[in-house]
Chains A and B, each alone.
Chain A
Amino acid sequence: MNKFIFSLFFLFIFTLFNNSYSHGPTRQKLKESVIINSKPEDVWNVIKDFGKINTWHPSISKVESDGKTRTIYYSPRNNTPIKQKLESYNAEKMMYKTSITEVDIKSFPVSTYTANISVKGNDDGTSTVLWKGAFYRAYVNNDPPPELNEAAAIEAVKEFFQAGLNNLKTQLEK
Chain B
Amino acid sequence: MKNFLINLWIFFLFFLKVSFSNDLAFITNQLSNSVSVIDLETYEVIKEISVGSKPAGVTVTKDGKRIFISNPESKEISVIDGYKLENIKNIPLGKGPLGIALTKDDKFLLVADWYDHIVRVIDTSSLELIKEIPVGKSPAGIDTDLKNSKFYVANRDDHTVSVVNIKTFKEEKVLKAGKRPFAVTLSPDNKFLYVANVKSSDISVFDTINYKKITTIKVGKSPYAIAFLQDGSKAFVTNQHENTISVIDTINKKNIKTLEIGEYPEGINFYVKTKEVLIVNWFDSEVVVLNSLNFNIKKRIMVGEGPRGFGNFIGPNLMQN
Residue of A nearest to B115 (CB): A142
Report whether B306 and A27 are in contact in the complex, using a CB–CB cutoff of 8 Å.
Answer: yes
Interface size class of B (residues with CB under 8 A): 20 to 34
Which chain B residues lie closer than 8 Å to A114 at the CB level?
A: 241
- How many Å lie between the Cα of A21 and that of B199 in the bound state? 8
- Is A83 located at the chain interface by the 8 A CB criterion? no
- Is A106 located at the chain interface by the 8 A CB criterion? no
Report whether B96 and A26 are in contact in the complex, using a CB–CB cutoff of 8 Å.
Answer: no
Report whether A29 and B31 are in contact in the complex, using a CB–CB cutoff of 8 Å.
Answer: yes
**For window 86-101 of chain A, which residues contact chain B by CB distance below 8 Å?**
87-88, 99
Report whether B138 and A22 are in contact in the complex, using a CB–CB cutoff of 8 Å.
Answer: yes
Q: How many A-B residue pairs have CB under 8 A?
A: 43
- Is A146 located at the chain interface by the 8 A CB criterion? no
Which chain A residues lie closer than 8 Å to B151 at the CB level?
A: none
- How many Å lie between the Cα of A118 and that of B72 in the bound state? 33
**For window 4-35 of chain B, which residues contact chain A by CB distance below 8 Å?**
30-31
Which chain B residues lie closer than 8 Å to A26 at the CB level?
A: 30-31, 54, 56, 72-73
- How many Å lie between the Cα of A141 and that of B156 in the bound state? 14
- Is A52 located at the chain interface by the 8 A CB criterion? no
B280 to nearest A CB, angstroms? 13
Which chain B residues lie closer than 8 Å to A29 at the CB level?
A: 31, 282-283, 305-306
- How many Å lie between the Cα of A21 and that of B264 in the bound state? 18
B320 to nearest A CB, angstroms? 34
Tell me if B's interface is mostly helix, strand, loop or mixed.
loop
- Is A25 located at the chain interface by the 8 A CB criterion? yes
B181 to nearest A CB, angstroms? 12
- Is A134 located at the chain interface by the 8 A CB criterion? yes
- How many Å lie between the Cα of A25 and that of B283 in the bound state? 16
- Is A62 located at the chain interface by the 8 A CB criterion? no
A126 to nearest B CB, angstroms? 24
- How many Å lie between the Cα of A26 and that of B114 in the bound state? 12
Residue of B nearest to A132 (CB): B283
Report whether B157 and A25 are in contact in the complex, using a CB–CB cutoff of 8 Å.
Answer: no
- Is B221 located at the chain interface by the 8 A CB criterion? yes
Which chain A residues lie closer than 8 Å to B31 at the CB level?
A: 26, 28-29
- How many Å lie between the Cα of A25 and that of B156 in the bound state? 12
Q: Pick the residue among A22, A27, A88 that contacts B30 (CB under 8 A).
A: A27
Residue of A nearest to B56 (CB): A25
Which chain A residues lie closer than 8 Å to B306 at the CB level?
A: 27, 29
Which chain B residues lie closer than 8 Å to A134 at the CB level?
A: 264, 282-283
A73 to nearest B CB, angstroms? 25
Residues 33-76 of A, flagged 1 when their CB comes within 8 A of B and 0 if not, give 00000000000000000000000000000000000000000000
Residue of A nearest to B73 (CB): A26
**For window 11-36 of chain A, which residues contact chain B by CB distance below 8 Å?**
21-22, 24-29
- How many Å lie between the Cα of A64 and that of B30 in the bound state? 37
- Is B150 located at the chain interface by the 8 A CB criterion? no
Report whether A22 and B73 are in contact in the complex, using a CB–CB cutoff of 8 Å.
Answer: no
- Is B95 located at the chain interface by the 8 A CB criterion? yes
- How many Å lie between the Cα of A26 and that of B52 in the bound state? 13
B119 to nearest A CB, angstroms? 16
Report whether A21 and B305 are in contact in the complex, using a CB–CB cutoff of 8 Å.
Answer: no
- How many Å lie between the Cα of A134 and that of B264 in the bound state? 9
Contact A27 B73, CB 8 Å, known A22-B138, A134-B264: no
Report whether B241 and A142 are in contact in the complex, using a CB–CB cutoff of 8 Å.
Answer: no
B76 to nearest A CB, angstroms? 13
Q: Which 4 pairs across A and B sit closest by C-beta, in order of nearness?
A: A25-B72, A26-B54, A142-B115, A142-B95
List 15 A–B pairs whose Cβ atoms lie within 8 Å, in order of A's numbering.
Answer: A22-B156, A22-B157, A25-B56, A26-B54, A26-B56, A26-B72, A26-B73, A28-B31, A29-B31, A87-B241, A88-B242, A99-B241, A116-B263, A132-B263, A134-B282
Residues of A within 8 A of B (CB): 21-22, 24-29, 87-88, 99, 114, 116, 132, 134, 141-142
Known: A22-B156, A22-B157. 4 other contacts (CB 8 A): A25-B98, A26-B54, A27-B306, A29-B305
